[in-house]
Amino acid sequence: MALVIDSSAAIQIAMGSAEGLAMSGMIAKGEEVFAPDFLKLECANGFWRYVRARKLTAKQARELYQDSVSLATRFVRQNDLIDEALHEAMRLDHPVYDVAYLVLARRLDATLLSLDSRLVNLCIQEGVDCVEPVQL
């Protein structure tokens, strides 16, 4: 089974939160975990926000960033997703960057790992397999 991971899941797995630990248990050793290449930017921004809020030091943020992006074993170029993601975002009235994860999971017939309840609900609505945060 292929997985797609979004930044909400990657950050919380790296941080070792309760939700993150539950999600990390769903990734089998050697399993392919896909992500759009912009996951790196989203994770970096997420850790910057923790530093800005004084919840992490810069050193901790850099280390956790590396842990978060290393969860993906294969990155898909955003250019390969953007046209379909834009079309679907307009149809679904949802941000393009979130819909790109949905599009990637749908293309790969993969399960999306996300802690973003709006994105998870959208996946359910669209018939894309995902792990619901309430299942954790």
pLDDT in tens, 51-88: 999 999 999 999 999 999 999 999 999 999 999 999 99
pLDDT per residue as tens digits for the range 82-116: 999 999 999 999 999 999 999 999 999 999 999 99
Calculate the dihedral angle through the C-alpha atoms of 127, 102, 79, 47, rounding to the nearest 10 degrees: -170
31-50 average pLDDT score: 97
Residue-level pLDDT at 136: 46
Residue-level pLDDT at 8: 96
**Strand positions, DSSP E, the chain:** 3-5, 33-36, 74-76, 111-113, 130-131
Predicted TM-score (pTM) of this structure: 0.93
| Whole-angstrom distance, CA of residue 47 vs CA of residue 111 | 25
- CATH number, domain 3-135, options 3.10.20.30, 3.40.50.1010, 3.40.50.300, 3.90.550.10: 3.40.50.1010
Domain assignments of the chain as residue spans, ordered by start: 3-135
